[in-house]
């Protein structure tokens, strides 16, 4: 994993709630008073996948990332886990790391976990950023041909397969530069997600939805979505925006992976939201 620019980065295995999680913390530059940012990745993705966006964020912002159970450096548990249970683990992890309130960015599958964390540990989350994500099992799905290719983590292991499916499942720049997919996903550089870990992530998302509790999310929220996202069609972002009172919506012309392929366009949008003055208690972003 490349070291993002900014402060120093520390990667370690952390034991929490009977699990061992591989965790990366990029420390902020000395003197920073900003709230740390927890970034939660998409399904099957190791924490290094988020290197481009972390590198594009300013060095005075501390960032925290982790590999979910069964992905990357985090061993898979024996039994599947519910998303609410994993949110409790993440809450405990932040306590172990010595953090109080944090901002949270959830990307794709990680957006579901971020929403759950903002609900079940609302004391923990100051602001919420939801990127290329939806409301879980009850959402407007992409085409069946796209969802079928999401049932395995092969694209993380096989560069040729990643190039073959990239345009169809990710949209955006992947339609014209599918060879970029293997690089962005790290295909072939590691073993990819374990089959059990990937299945556990699928099961956790399939048995969870945020749709009924969106009105309970009073944390200032930014929803970021692409116009060409086959996995999570744009209408899902509008559902989140309308359901979360006072939320802001940023629509860009790219696809599902735009946060990773065009980080210098989207990271400033995220950073401006996190740094802007707002009435946090009222739950309305500036």
Q: What is the pLDDT of residues 147-182, one digit of tens each?
A: 999 999 999 999 999 999 999 999 999 999 999 988
Q: Does the annotation count 108 as an active-site position?
A: yes
Number of residues that this document lists for the chain? 286
Q: Output the six-digit token pair for 241.
A: 């925006």
Q: How many Å apart are CA 129 and CA 172, to the nearest integer? A: 20
- What pLDDT, in 10s, does the model give residues 210-257? 999 999 999 999 999 999 999 999 999 999 999 999 999 999 999 999
Higher pLDDT, 55 or 188: 55
Q: How many Å apart are CA 260 and CA 275, to the nearest integer? A: 21
Handedness of CA 185, 116, 89, 198 (dihedral sign): negative
Asked if 171 contacts 230 with a C-beta cutoff of 8 angstroms, the reply is yes
- Does the structure show a pLDDT above 70 at 275? yes
Q: Which pLDDT does position 279 carry in this prediction?
A: 56
Asked if 64 contacts 23 with a C-beta cutoff of 8 angstroms, the reply is yes
Q: Which pLDDT does position 284 carry in this prediction?
A: 41
Whole-prediction pTM: 0.94
Q: Which pLDDT does position 277 carry in this prediction?
A: 86
**Span 132-154, average pLDDT:** 96
Catalytic pick from 108, 120, 210, 247?
108
Q: Which pLDDT does position 286 carry in this prediction?
A: 36
Strands of the chain, DSSP E: 9-16, 19-26, 37-40, 63-66, 102-107, 125-131, 221-226, 248-252
**Span 260-286, average pLDDT:** 80
**Span 1-9, average pLDDT:** 58
Q: How many Å apart are CA 43 and CA 224, to the nearest integer? A: 18
The residues, ordered by sequence, that sit 6+ positions from 33 with a Cβ below 8 Å of its Cβ are none
């Amino acid at each position: 994993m490349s070291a993002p620019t900014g402060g120093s980065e520390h990667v370690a295995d952390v034991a929490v709630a009977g699990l061992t999680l591989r965790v990366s913390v990029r420390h902020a530059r000395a003197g920073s008073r900003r709230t740390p940012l927890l970034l939660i990745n998409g399904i099957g993705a190791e924490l290094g996948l988020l290197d481009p966006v972390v590198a594009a964020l300013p060095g005075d912002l501390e960032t925290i990332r982790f590999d979910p159970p069964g992905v990357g450096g985090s061993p898979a548990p024996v039994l599947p886990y519910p998303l609410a249970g994993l949110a409790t683990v993440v809450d405990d992890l932040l306590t172990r790391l010595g953090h109080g309130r944090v901002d949270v960015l959830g990307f794709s599958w990680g957006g579901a976990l971020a929403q759950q964390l903002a609900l079940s540990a609302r004391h923990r989350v100051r602001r919420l950023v939801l990127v290329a994500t939806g409301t879980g099992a009850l959402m407007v799905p992409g085409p069946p041909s796209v969802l079928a290719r999401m049932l395995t983590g092969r694209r993380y292991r096989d560069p040729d397969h990643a190039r073959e499916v990239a345009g169809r499942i990710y949209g955006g720049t992947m339609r014209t530069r599918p060879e970029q997919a293997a690089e962005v996903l790290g295909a072939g550089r590691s073993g990819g997600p374990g089959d059990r870990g990937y299945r556990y992530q699928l099961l956790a998302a399939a048995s969870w939805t945020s749709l009924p509790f969106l009105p309970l999310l009073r944390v200032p929220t930014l929803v970021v979505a692409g116009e060409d996202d086959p996995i999570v069609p744009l209408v899902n972002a509008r559902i989140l925006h309308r359901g979360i009172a006072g939320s802001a919506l940023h629509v860009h012309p790219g696809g599902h992976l735009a946060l990773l392929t065009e980080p210098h366009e989207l990271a400033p949008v995220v950073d401006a939201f996190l740094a802007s003055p707002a009435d946090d208690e009222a739950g309305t972003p500036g």
